[in-house]
Amino acid sequence: MKVSMRVNGAERSGDIEPRVLLVDFIRTNLSLTGTHIGCDTSSCGACTVLVDGDPVKSCTVLAVQAEGRAVKTIEGIAGTGALAPIQVGFHEEHGLQCGFCTPGMMLLGEELISRIPNPTDEQIRWAISGNICRCTGYMNIVKAVQHAAKLTTAASKAPAAAMAGGAE
Amino acid sequence: MSSTLHMHGGIGESIKRKEDARFLRGQGHYLDDFVLPRMAHMAILRSPHAHARIKSVDTAAASAKPGVIAVVTGELMAQHKLAWMPTLSGDTQAVLATDKVRFQGQEVAAVIAETKYQAEDARDLIEVDYEILQAITSPQQAKESGSALIRDDKEGQKDNHIYHWESGDKAGTQAAFAKAHKVVRLNTFYPRCHPAPLETCGCIADVDGVTGKATIYMTSQAPHAIRTVFALVAGIPEQQIRIISPDIGGGFGNKVPVYPGYVVATAASLLLGRPVKWVEDRTENLISTGFARDYHMTGDLALDANGKMTALRVHLDSDNGAFFADAQPSKFKAGLFHIVTGSYDIPTAHVTADGYYTNKAPGGVAYRCSFRVTEASYLIERLVSNAAMEIGMDQAEIRTKNFIKPEQFPYTSATGWIYDSGDYPKAMDVALKQLGYDEMKKDVDARRKKGEVTGIGIASFTEVVGAGHGADFDILGLRMFDSAELRVHPTGKAILKLGVKSQGQGHETTFAQIVAEELGIPAQDVLVMEGDTDNTPYGLGTYASRSTPVAGAATAMVSRKLREKARKLAAHLLEAAEEDLEWERGKFFVKGSPEKSKTIQEAAFAAYTNLPEGMEPGLEGVHYYDPPNMTYPFGTYAVVVDVDKGTGQVKVKRMVAVDDCGVRINPMIVEGQIQGGLTEGYGIAFMELITFDAEGNCIGSNLMDYLIPGSMETPKFEIGQTVTPSPHHPLGAKGVGESATVGSPAAYVNAVIDALSPYGITNIDMPVTSDKVWAALRSKGVTE
């Protein structure tokens, strides 16, 4: 059957079996391999994407359930150019090692910052609690999200300051 | 993109990781991301039974399904003499079962189809008729007379016993025990757990029908050794095998062995002339690939009247599963368990081990550990804490009293290991100060008086990592050296090629830093390549904390070789005598005339453009490093826990980890490794368990049953350090990837037992779950 959705801002469609999982549609049909598969049971969160802005484990969602919706994957955060704040945060705070959980963790972090601009340690731990990282022990992921939150806040203030003609 | 891009990146600098650039963008290349032209997909049918005779396998319905290209059975593999393969421990393992299945999850047949979905659909239509046999799920059951014989395929095998192994001095130990003032015993079971890297195992086998070249993309921690094993097993000429280990999503030992799926996919690609991809799902990973531990241990510690340790006696029963496929050096049946005397100057010890076949998955790997060092460390550290409790001595004091003293190094242990270096009292001192031990003890006493259940645990571990020396350590005869090949281009930029393979450890950064230090080329200008056997020098791989001790040493040595050639080039350019040149990181200058200098980049350019007469052009080299000894990282971990009397829930309040891994090349990466290891140690102590019911069904076959620490459970860690350089490593480094997983389980459990000790509770086996703690408290009438 036909399925179409907006992925990272572009209209994408495919002709698939109704049973095809969203993660397989993203990885196989769209060749966006930054979304990973770690468990098949929505336990690990390596497959996390944002659907209409909400984090979703794409290994337990059918592709057809995303019909007409907006999907954001890691490839939608930044391409080959400059890094987005969440990516800078993970890099600067050593919030990744093998990199397998990282796309899911960064999408969660970015979504959290969009709701809570200055999240606490506990708020971050809660936000990423559905995703497993086997390498880092989470402390640096928490720091990474806080680092990104600061950058995001600074970036949002900068243009306003420039318009007001003031210097910070 | 990096805030540390401007830095030279020598040893001791926490530069940001080079490999992050692709991972941050979702542009890593993991195995399952590769798509080759005409690639087919493979799904494996596994046994639902732990022990059963195969009466028939009917593949007709599966073969008829749309998209199915082939169905492979054990019988077909047998026709090609590939139904069985050798293991890393000198045993045999079924590739696809022909006679019996011997564990739940064992490979029985495989379907190759156009898509993954089609392969899995057809797999479910294969009909196998089984005659169910008695399942044996423990060494105790395995040794009972009249137990079912698991390995009836092996000629001369009359029971389920695999090996008996001993180390140390039996008579001397007996004599010491006869004179002991006090003997403390601990019976404990280190249960089966699983490394469970977030990325499962898999491969894509691509055998070229014309040239016969087999290119196998594989989630392998040891691609070169795997190539040789494949050459030996499949009879393919070794130059016709290329193993490519792409980016790996965590390994922790799970990706060392050769799994049947790799062999079947390769055979299928050979027969079909198409690339064949096989990627495990999580259940396949947990129920069939390399597990860890499963050791039943009894330790006796003899003490004199002053609390001085006089002898240690240990026996272990090892549960090896259906095939003896432990991934470990061939001369060490029980791994490096004889490090069990730990950090203590124990005059005599005797260790015995017996291995048994059971109807459980084979392939004991060292889950973030150097070949059974974790079990040894756990036993001695639990035993020492229990001894302190029994004789009424402080658990820090009994350790300090018995530590091998700094001036005793190099120290030969009672089981024959030569410890290279250590300063155990210092690490203990730093840890206790960081914890505020004396204050914390008063706090614990005060709170206990109020009826609270709280305690402190200490572990002062010593590891033995970085195998070889090659004469003692080998895998299937391959000596455990490692290698580095360094090529400096005319413009002074370099490529470093290694025989090891990162799975997240940050090799692309750390090893570039070694070149930056030793050859003076900034780390950003050094590209590190690994994981392609056609394009990197031979090495034994990354596991057992051996990359920095062995490949790191090789990198330092090859950098020094090139520096010596660069010295000749600089002398030529400066028209000076070689012996008149001084080296300062990055340049040579004439003694007494620092303005007369040539940079390493200028020397490199000269190697291609302006050579002294008779010199071979180019600036490149290779070094194979066979370490003279192992390295011995150590540390002291201290944990404070609160226990909820009503529920048995344990809360880790503090975790102080002081590690000494010698010289730290990139401190940020080292601390990241320690934090990760402490988390996996926490998981092992409190959560992670692979167990079996009486029929041999695996409990723990998915991440809802096999519990891995998440962000809410994982404690916050307080990291500290001491630095005692290895005297024999060119950089003084020792390896650190596994220290925290080796040392921390005993610290966590010691804290719980300390909390429960006022009620006479002396042991709870891991994982220390709430229900076990609650039951222990209830048995003592502490809770209802």
Model confidence band, residue A160 (pLDDT cutoffs 50, 70, 90): low
Cα B535 to Cα B30: distance, rounded to the nearest angstrom:
19
**Residue numbers of the domain that contains A66:** 2-76
CATH of domain B482-625: 3.30.365.10
Q: Using a pLDDT cut of 70, give the percent of chain B over it.
A: 100
Please enumerate in sequence order all residues whose Cβ is within 8 A of that of B753, keeping only pairs 6 or more positions apart, or say none.
Answer: B382, B385, B386, B389, B455, B457, B761, B762, B763, B764
Return the amino acid letter for B87: T
The dihedrals phi and psi of B412, each to the nearest 5 degrees, come to -100, 120
Q: Does one domain contain both A91 and A153?
A: yes
Return the amino acid letter for B33: D
Q: What is the pLDDT of residue A159?
A: 62
ipTM reported for the complex, 2 dp:
0.97
| Token pair for B295 | 């050791």
| Sequence spans of domains, chain B | 34-133+200-248+255-288, 308-357+364-466+631-681+716-757, 482-625
Contact B1, B21 (CB under 8 A): yes
Unique residue bearing structure tokens 């531990």: B293
- Per-residue pLDDT of B397-423, as tens digits, reads 999 999 999 999 999 999 999 999 999
Cα B696 to Cα B359: distance, rounded to the nearest angstrom:
7
- Per-residue pLDDT of B422-434, as tens digits, reads 999 999 999 999 9
What CATH number is attached to the domain comprising A67? 3.10.20.30
Contact B546, B466 (CB under 8 A): yes
Answer whether A35 sits within 8 Å of B28, measured CB to CB. Answer: no
Query: For residue B681, which residues of chain A lie inside 8 Å, CB to CB?
Result: none
Decide if A132 is inside a domain: yes
For an interface test with B, which of A93, A132, A139 has the most B Cβ atoms less than 10 Å from its Cβ?
A139
pLDDT at residue B232 is higher than 90:
no
Q: What is the pLDDT of residue B255?
A: 97
Query: For residue A80, which residues of chain B lie inside 8 Å, CB to CB?
Result: 25
Q: Does one domain contain both A72 and A134?
A: no
The domain B34-133+200-248+255-288 having CATH identifier 3.90.1170.50: the answer here is yes
- Give the A window 60-79 contacts with B, CB below 8 Å: 73-75, 77-79
- Per-residue pLDDT of B445-481, as tens digits, reads 999 999 999 999 999 999 999 999 999 999 989 999 9
Decide if A166 is inside a domain: no
Query: How far is the alpha carbon of B574 from chain A, nearest alpha carbon, in Å?
Result: 42
- Per-residue pLDDT of B251-303, as tens digits, reads 999 999 999 999 999 999 999 999 999 999 999 999 999 999 999 999 999 99
| Tally of domains within chain A | 2
Q: What is the pLDDT of residue B36?
A: 98
A38 Cβ under 8 Å from any chain B Cβ = yes
pLDDT at residue B365 is higher than 60:
yes
Q: Does one domain contain both A26 and A69?
A: yes
Q: What is the pLDDT of residue B4?
A: 96
Return the amino acid letter for B260: P
Within this chain, domains B308-357+364-466+631-681+716-757 and B482-625 share the same CATH topology: yes
Burial B185-224 (b: 16+ CB within 10 A, else e): ebebbbbbbbbbbbbbbbbbbbbeeeeebbbbbbbbbbbb
Query: Considering just the CA atoms, what is the radius of gyration of chain A in Å?
Result: 17
In the sheet that B100-101 helps form, which strands lie side by side, from edge to edge? B100-101, B52-58, B127-132
Q: What is the pLDDT of residue A26?
A: 98
Contact A118, A149 (CB under 8 A): yes
Q: What is the pLDDT of residue B37?
A: 97
Q: Does one domain contain both A92 and A69?
A: no
Decide if A72 is inside a domain: yes
User: Which among A51, A76, A101 is the end of a domain?
Assistant: A76
B369 is catalytic: yes
B368 is catalytic: yes
Q: What is the pLDDT of residue A79?
A: 72
Q: Does one domain contain both A47 and A94?
A: no
Q: Does one domain contain both A92 and A139?
A: yes
Unique residue bearing structure tokens 């394009």: B535
User: Which among A41, A76, A111 is the end of a domain?
Assistant: A76
User: Which among A76, A93, A113 is the end of a domain?
Assistant: A76
Q: Using a pLDDT cut of 90, give the percent of chain B over it.
A: 97
Answer whether A134 sits within 8 Å of B680, measured CB to CB. Answer: yes
Q: What is the pLDDT of residue A161?
A: 47
Name the architecture of domain B308-357+364-466+631-681+716-757: 2-Layer Sandwich (3.30)
Of A39, A91, A97, the CB nearest to B1: A91
- Give the A window 137-156 contacts with B, CB below 8 Å: 137-142
Burial A85-121 (b: 16+ CB within 10 A, else e): bbbbbbbbbbbbbbbbbbbbbbbbbbbbbeeeeebee
- Per-residue pLDDT of A50-91, as tens digits, reads 999 999 999 999 999 999 999 999 999 987 789 999 999 999
pLDDT at residue B99 is higher than 50:
yes
Query: For residue A137, which residues of chain B lie inside 8 Å, CB to CB?
Result: 675-679, 714, 717
Answer whether B117 sits within 8 Å of A31, measured CB to CB. Answer: no
Answer whether B672 sits within 8 Å of A46, measured CB to CB. Answer: no
Query: How far is the alpha carbon of A19 from chain B, nearest alpha carbon, in Å?
Result: 10
Decide if A10 is inside a domain: yes
What region, left, alpha or beta, does residue B520 occupy, with left being phi > 0 and alpha being psi -120 to 50 degrees? left
Query: How far is the alpha carbon of B498 from chain A, nearest alpha carbon, in Å?
Result: 18
A44 Cβ under 8 Å from any chain B Cβ = yes
Q: What's the 3-state SS for chain A? A: CEEEEEECCEEEEEECCCCCEHHHHHHHHCCCCCCCCCCCCCCCCCCEEEECCEEEEHHHCEHHHHCCCEEECHHHCCCCCCCCHHHHHHHHCCCCCCCCCHHHHHHHHHHHHHHCCCCCHHHHHHHCCCCCCCCCCCHHHHHHHHHHHHHHHHHHHHHHHHHCCCCC
Q: What is the pLDDT of residue A163?
A: 45
What CATH number is attached to the domain comprising A131? 1.10.150.120
Answer whether B24 sits within 8 Å of A43, measured CB to CB. Answer: no
Q: What is the pLDDT of residue A80?
A: 73
pLDDT at residue A162 is higher than 60:
no
Cα dihedral sign for B220, B221, B222, B224? positive
Q: Does one domain contain both A52 and A100?
A: no
Average pLDDT in chain B = 97
> Can you name the residues that pair with B247 across neighbouring β-strands?
B30
pLDDT at residue A164 is higher than 80:
no
Query: For residue A36, which residues of chain B lie inside 8 Å, CB to CB?
Result: 30, 32, 198-199, 249
Q: Does one domain contain both A6 and A69?
A: yes
Nearest residue in chain B measured CA to CA from A82 = B1
Q: Minimal CA–CA distance to B200: which of B222, B185, B218, B226?
A: B218
| Token pair for A80 | 């080959």
- Per-residue pLDDT of A3-50, as tens digits, reads 999 999 999 999 999 999 999 999 999 999 999 999 999 999 999 999
B777 SS3 class: helix
> Can you name the residues that pair with B474 across neighbouring β-strands?
B479
Decide if A47 is inside a domain: yes
pLDDT at residue A168 is higher than 50:
no
Unique residue bearing structure tokens 């389920």: B160
- Per-residue pLDDT of B590-607, as tens digits, reads 999 999 999 999 999 999
- Per-residue pLDDT of B124-182, as tens digits, reads 999 999 999 999 999 999 999 999 999 999 999 999 999 999 999 999 999 999 999 99
Decide if A168 is inside a domain: no
Measured CA to CA in angstroms, residue B192 lies from B302, B367, B610 at distances of 29, 10, 62
Q: Does one domain contain both A56 and A110?
A: no
pLDDT at residue A118 is higher than 70:
yes
The dihedrals phi and psi of B42, each to the nearest 5 degrees, come to -120, 140
Q: Minimal CA–CA distance to B701: which of B251, B50, B40, B178?
A: B50
